[in-house]
Amino acid sequence: MRKIIHNDKVFTVFNYILAALFLLIALYPLWYVVICSFSGISAIVTGKVWIVPKDVTFDGFKRMFEQKEIWSGYRWTILYTLVGTGINLVFTIPAGYALTRKTLPFRRAINMYFMLTMFIGGGMIPTYLWMDRLHLVNTFWIMVLMGAVSVWNMIICRTFFESNIPEELIDAAKIDGGSEIGIFARIVLPLSKAILAVMTLFFAVGHWNSYFTALIYLRDRGRQPLQLVLRTILLTSQMMTEGSGEQFDQLIFELQNMKYCVVIAASLPVLIMYPFIQKYFVKGVMIGAIKG
Amino acid sequence: MRKHAGMKATAVLLSAAMLVACGGGQGSTAGTTAAGSETTAAGSETTAIPDSGSSTTAAAEAAGFFNEEGYPIVNEPFTLTIGYTADAGQGDWSTMDWWQRLAEESGITIEFVEYADGNAVSLMYASRDYPDIAIHAGSDKQIADAAEAGDVYNLEEYLDYAPNWKEYLDANPLVKASITFPDGHIHSLPAIQDRILYEMRDMWMINGKWLDELGLEVPTTIDEFYEVLKAIKANAGKGSIPENVIPYYVRGITNNIGGALDLINTYGIRVMAESSFATIDDNGKVEFNYANPDIKEPMEFIHKLVDEGLISKDGFTDDRPQAQAKSSSTKEPIVACYSEYAGGGNGEVALMPLDSGNGKTPVFRAQTSTLMRNRYTVFKTCEHPEIAMRFANMIAEEDWTVYNFFGEFDTYVDKNDDGTYFVKDRSDLGQLFNYSPQNWAPELMTRELSERIIYAEGHVDYGRNEAANQYSEWMIPKKNLYPTFVYSDEKRDRISELAGDITPYISSTLSSWALEGGIEEGWDAYIAQLNSLGLEEYLDLLQQEYDRFLSNAQ
C-alpha cells in the first residue's frame, strides 16, 4: 500500500513539473513581448533581453502614443467592434433559432444553403468586384457588414436552442397567445444568456483582431483599425529597402522596441475582457455541444 | 478564423439586402469614394474604358478650362484621384504639406486612395477600378497588362504638356529606354534622384579615432588594412577601444546592405548585389563575376579574417537592425570598420578602396537607384491627361523637387539668387516622411540640379556627398551596371525564376566559404551547380533583354 501511495506522489509531482513546463512554454512568448516593450533597443536587437527587461525605458510607449494613427486606430476598432458585433448578433442568433423551428418552410434546404457557404466561397476577386458594385468599398459599412452571419456560430446557436429550449415550452407560449417573434424575444432570449455572452465574445474578438477586410477594402488611412496599424508597424520593422537612407534606417531601428508596445496596446482590452465573460464560456459552448 | 471563410458568400447575400441601409451611410463616411464610384461605372460592363480624353480636350481648351502654361493649371474645380502605396513608415499622403501646397497652387483638388499593400493594388488592377493616377502602385506586369487592355495612356504623346520631362528624356536616351515598356510606349514616369551620393549605396568606414589612438594611418593597401585590424584586436580594452571590439563587421557576403562587397570590389572585381547580380563588361556583354575565379583571392582573405577573429561570425546571421545596433546606431562603438549608409558620429572616416596588390585597379560599389520606375501612371479614367501631365511637370520643377526631398523653403532650405539651394542641418530627418512623399513621387533631381545643392555641414548628406565625390573615381560606371528597365513579358517570369535559384545559392555558398574555407576544393562543384541551375540561360536572357534595352535608346 505504502509503495503505491509513494508512486502516486511521484506521479503527481511529475505531472506538476510537466504542466509547469508547458505553462512556461505558453507564457514565455507573452512574457518576452512584455519585457521587450520596456527594454532598450540595442539590448533587444543584440539578444540581451532574455528573462528580465534590460536598459529599462518607456521610450517605446512614448513614441507609440505620439503616433496619431494609433489613437485613430483605437477609435475605429472600438466602433467597428461595437457596431459589427451588434449586427452579427442581430443576424446570427435569430437565424440559428429560426432553423430549429420545425414550422419553418424549406428548413432543410435553407440549412443546406447555409452549410454550403462554409465549403464554397466566391474567392477574393469576385467578392471584391461584388462589393465594389454595391459601393461598399472604402465605406464604414464594409467593415461591419462583411461576414454579418457566421455560419459556424449560427450552428452553435442552433444546437444550443435545440438542446436547451424544449419544444413544449414554445407550444405552451403559443397556447398563451405568443407570436413567433414575441416568443423569441420574451421567452427564448432570456433563457439563452449564456450563448449570447459567448457569441458576443466570439464576434467581438473576431472584429477586434480582424485586419484583412480593412486591408483589402479600405483606401483611407484615417479609418484603419488598430490591427492594420499594428500590422504596418510590424512589417515596416522587418523591412529592408535598398533605395532609402538615414531617415528610414533610424525609423526601423526605433520600431524594434515600439512594435512590442503596440502588441501590448492592441491585445490588452481583449485580455481584460476575457475573464469577465469566461464564466459563461463552458456553459454556452459545451452545453450545446455535448447534449446535442 | 474559420468563421470568416465560411461566411463570405452569405455576406454577399446579406449586404445586398442591406444596401438600403448603406446608401444613407455612405455619404457621411466615404470621403474618397465619391470620385472612385463614378469612375467604376466605366469599367462595369464595357470591355475597354472609352478614351474620353481626346474627345473632350478641344472643348475644354476652348472653354479655358485649363491653362497650357503657368499656374494655376485649372481655372475651374477639377479633381485628380491619386492611388498610391506609401513607403514603409510614411505618413498619410492626404495630410502632407507638400501635396496640399501643390493642390493650392495648381488649383487641382487631389483625392487620395491608399492601397494598404500589394493585395489591394492587385484588386485595383483586377477590378479595373482605377484611380486617375497611380503613384507607386503597380508592378511592370500589372501596368503592362492594363496598357494592353487599353486602360493606360501613352505618356509620350502628352510630353508637350510636360516640357521638364520632355527635355530631360530627350537629353537622356538611356533613361527613356529604361521607362519604355516592351510595347514601345511610356506608361509611367520615373522618380529621378541623380545625385552622385545616390550612385553610391553605402560608405565604407573605419573608426578614425581609434586609428589616432593607436598612431596608425587610414589604410590604403590590403596589407595595411590587415595590420590595422590586427592592431585594433590586439589593443582591445585599451583607450576607448572596448574589450569586445569587432575589428571588421560584415553582414554576410552578398547583402547589398552591409555585405562584404566592398572588400571584393577592392580587388578590382565588379560584383553587384542588386537584383540580377550581373554586371556589364566594357564591350557591352553581360558578365557574371560571381562565377569568375578571380573572386577566390578576396574570399580567401575574408576567410583568413574570420579565422583570426577579425570578422565577427555573428554578422553572417544578423538582420538589419542587429547590424545597426552594432555599428551605426550605437553611442559606444564596438565595430571598427563597417559599411553603412552613414556613420553613427563616432569618429568614422571614409575608407577608400584598397590596393590589393594584384595589379588591378580597385572599384567601388555603385547602384542604379538614381532612377526609380513606375512613379506616375495615368489611366484612361482621367478625362484630361493633359492636366495630369501638366501636374507631373509641376512636380518636376526644381523648386518642388527640392521641397519634396529636403523640406520646406526658408525653414529647411534657402534658395539663393544664383540658382543654388542651401540645405540646412536638421535633426528631425525622420519627420520628412510625414511632410512629403520623398522618392515615391515623380521628382526630377537631375545631376545638373544636384550640383547646385549645398549641404550644411552636419547634414547627413553633407558627409555622404563628400565621400561620394571621393569615391567617384573608383565607382563602377553606369555603363557597367545592369540597368533597371521593363523586361518583356515572355522573359520576365523566367528571369526571376532563374534568379530565385541562382542568387540564394551564391549567397549561401560564399558565406560558408567565408566561415569554413574550402573555396579552392569546392570551386568546380560550385560552377557545375551554377550551370545546372541554369546560369547560361540566365545570362543569355539578360543579354537579350539588355540588347533590346540598348536598341530602345537609339
Å from A27 to nearest chain B CA? 22
Q: Residue A164: how many CB atoms within 10 A of its CB?
A: 19
- Which of the pair, A47 or A205, is modelled with greater confidence? A205
Interface residue B129 vs chain A (CB under 8 A):
yes
Cβ separation B22–A127 shorter than 8 A: no
- Give the rounded percent of residues in chain A with a pLDDT score beyond 90: 40
Contacts of B330 in chain A (CB under 8 A): 42
Contact A250, B429 (CB under 8 A): yes
Best mutation target, A116, A247, A257, A259, to test chain B (most B CBs within 10 A): A247
A281: left (phi over 0), alpha (psi -120 to 50) or beta: alpha
- Say which CATH number the domain at A97 has: 1.10.3720.10
Cβ separation B201–A242 shorter than 8 A: yes
**Interface confidence (ipTM) of the complex:** 0.76
pLDDT score at B26: 34
Q: What is the mean pLDDT of residues A6-30?
A: 92
| DSSP helix/strand/coil, B215 | coil
Concatenated DSSP letters of B177-195? HHHB-TTS-B-EEEEEE--
d(CA B70, CA B552): 33
Cβ separation A146–B37 shorter than 8 A: no
Cβ separation A128–B127 shorter than 8 A: yes
Crossing angle of helices A124-133 and B118-127, rounded to 10°: 70
What pLDDT, in 10s, does the model give residues B273-328? 887 899 999 999 999 999 999 999 999 999 999 999 999 999 998 888 888 888 87
Cβ separation B2–A152 shorter than 8 A: yes
**Residue A219 covered by a domain:** yes
**Residue A216 covered by a domain:** yes
Cβ separation B11–A249 shorter than 8 A: no
Among the ranges given (B18-27, B106-115, B197-206), the one the predictor scored with the smallest mean pLDDT: B18-27
Å from B440 to nearest chain A CA? 10
| Count of A-B CB contacts under 8 Å | 228
**Residue A41 covered by a domain:** no
Number of domains present in the structure of chain A: 1
Interface residue B268 vs chain A (CB under 8 A):
no
Cβ separation B89–A251 shorter than 8 A: yes
**Residue A18 covered by a domain:** no
**Residue A139 covered by a domain:** yes
Interface residue A281 vs chain B (CB under 8 A):
no
Q: Name residues 24-53 of chain A within 8 A of B (Cβ).
A: 41-42, 45-47
Contact B158, B389 (CB under 8 A): yes
Cβ separation A221–B127 shorter than 8 A: no
* Cell numbers representing residue B416 in the block: 539663393
**Residue A26 covered by a domain:** no
- Which of the pair, B48 or A160, is modelled with greater confidence? A160
Pairing of strands B335-340, B203-207: antiparallel
Å from A9 to nearest chain B CA? 42
What pLDDT, in 10s, does the model give residues B111-149? 999 998 888 999 999 989 899 999 999 999 999 999 999
Q: Name residues 490-549 of chain B within 8 A of A (Cβ).
A: none
**Residue A286 covered by a domain:** yes
Place of cell 466602433: A79
**Residue A43 covered by a domain:** no
pLDDT score at A246: 58
Q: What is the mean pLDDT of residues B7-34?
A: 38
Query: What's the Cα-to-Cα distance from B301 to each of B258, B351, B492, rounded to whole Å?
Result: 18, 18, 37
d(CA A262, CA A77): 14
Residue A110 lies in domain: 59-291
- Most confident residue range from B307-321, B341-355, B538-552: B538-552
What pLDDT, in 10s, does the model give residues B397-435? 999 999 999 989 998 999 999 999 999 987 666 667 778
A183-217 burial: b if 16+ Cβ within 10 Å, else e: bbeebbeeebebbbbbbbbbbbbbbbbbbbbbbbb
Q: Please, what is the average pLDDT of chain B? A: 86
* Cell numbers representing residue B278 in the block: 550581373
Q: Domains, chain B, ranges and CATH?
A: 49-196+370-464 (3.40.190.10), 203-365+487-552 (3.40.190.10)
Cβ separation A140–B126 shorter than 8 A: no
Cβ separation A153–B3 shorter than 8 A: yes
